[in-house]
Structure 1
Amino acid sequence: MRRPHRRTVLASIAGIGLAGCLDSGDSADGTPGTDSDGSSIADDTGTATPTPDETPTQSDTPETTPDQGDGQSTDGADDDSEDNEEPDPSVFPGYEMTTVEVETPDGDDLGQVYAAIADTRDLRYTGLSDTDSMPENYGMLFVFDDVDDRPFVMREMDFGIDIVYADDEGVITEVHHAPEPGPDEDGNEQRYPGRGQYVLELNKGWTTDRGVTVGDVLQFEL
């Protein structure tokens, strides 16, 4: 089984953000909300609350990330176009982008997406809540400085998404399929818990179409 090797980087991990906004339990200064047992919580689909050790300043702690793979999707006719296409910067203006490849534990390619990197407090706070829609093979990668429990919510989301949690080595620990909120809903009640250091948000159904499951691996570079 090919495992992702580690690559040391310096990341600006100041706070946590989701595709929507901070949980209503968070204070204006970034103090994380807590659940009933006092643990910190993070919102889904674009917003996450900061963990206790995160601060609004740049972190100098080296961070290891899964390495990006260079394999090819096994989806059939779209494989070549998926691999050769250059990411469109207009999809996520102002964001750095990375290619995220999804593989089985044995290294078989399941697909790839071009992901906007949400690695600062503000970017994680905004998440996908300001996005009306995404092209098929695009997503957003939320980057945190450690592995923790990070429930996400569908606050102010305009479309359904798949929410993929992965640990510090990129191994997928949880996959959720979150529908968009109803006409009279704001998405705050749609909570999707998981544990990980990375959270990849994709168009709803992307993981199902490609057979992505817990134990598969995200490969990328930051």
Structure 2
Amino acid sequence: MNTIPRLFCIVAFAAIASSANAQLNIGLRTIQMKVGIYSIQAEVADSPDLREVGLMNRTSLPTNSGMLFIFEQKAGNCFWMKNTKLPLSIAFIADDGKIVNIEEMQADTTNNHCPKAPIRYALEMNKGWFSERVIVPGNTIQGLPKR
């Protein structure tokens, strides 16, 4: 068998896999959550380094997937979209799982988006995900990890 085509296939596969890993942040822990009848698979950003990177440089996000940010302390944790390539919606969530407020965020901007009350959790989804499903402040996110 000729090794050059085999080597080319291996190199091509490695390049595709590397690109996919960068896109999905394969190393992040994921959890299942629910709001109403909708299931969410969320990557967890629960350290300063993971929260700082968040969804930066991603070009897509599967429909019912998002990123859950978990903070050590309840506070007015604000978000911006620097180096974030896709528009997102963010739900700021109280300790009991109730959504405090939802903000729409434009890609690659530095506008602050802040909770209306101190929070420990924030969930980023594709822009419009919450409004398209009529999920509003006061609705409860189930399955939040306990701190």
Q: Same fold (TM over 0.5)?
A: yes
Give the secondary-structure state (helix, strand or coil) at the position aligned to 1:142. strand
Partners of 1:131 and 1:220 in 2: how far apart? 25
Q: What is the aligned partner in structure 1 of residue 66 from structure 2?
A: 139
Q: What is the aligned partner in structure 2 of residue 178 from structure 1?
A: 105
Percent same amino acid at aligned positions?
A: 28
| C-alpha displacement of 1:221 | 4.6
Q: What is the aligned partner in structure 2 of residue 219 from structure 1?
A: 142
| C-alpha displacement of 1:151 | 1.2
Amino acid at match of 2:130: T
Amino acid at match of 1:129: M
Would you identify which runs of 4 or more consecutive aligned residues in structure 1 move more than 4 Å? none
- Aligned-residue RMSD, C-alpha: 1.6
Give the secondary-structure state (helix, strand or coil) at the position aligned to 1:124. helix
Q: What is the aligned partner in structure 2 of residue 92 from structure 1?
A: 25
Contact persistence 1:146–1:168 (CA under 8 A): no
1:205 to 2:97 alignment: no
| C-alpha displacement of 1:116 | 0.3
Kindly report which structure 2 residues correspond to 1:49-198, keeping only aligned pairs within 5 A, or say none. Answer: 91-103=24-36, 109=37, 111-181=38-108, 187-188=109-110, 190-194=111-115, 195-198=118-121
Q: How many residues align?
A: 122
Amino acid at match of 1:117: V
Give the secondary-structure state (helix, strand or coil) at the position aligned to 1:123. helix
Partners of 1:221 and 1:179 in 2: how far apart? 26
Amino acid at match of 1:212: I
Kindly report which structure 2 residues correspond to 1:33-44, keeping only aligned pairs within 5 A, or say none. Answer: none
Give the secondary-structure state (helix, strand or coil) at the position aligned to 1:211. coil
Amino acid at match of 1:125: E
> Larger Cα Rg: Structure 1 or Structure 2?
2
| C-alpha displacement of 1:92 | 3.2
Q: Which segments of 5 or more consecutive residues in structure 1 lack a partner in the other structure?
A: 1-88, 104-108, 182-186
C-alpha distance after superposition, 1:141-195 (max 9, x if no partner) = 00112321111111111010001000111111010011223xxxxx12x111113
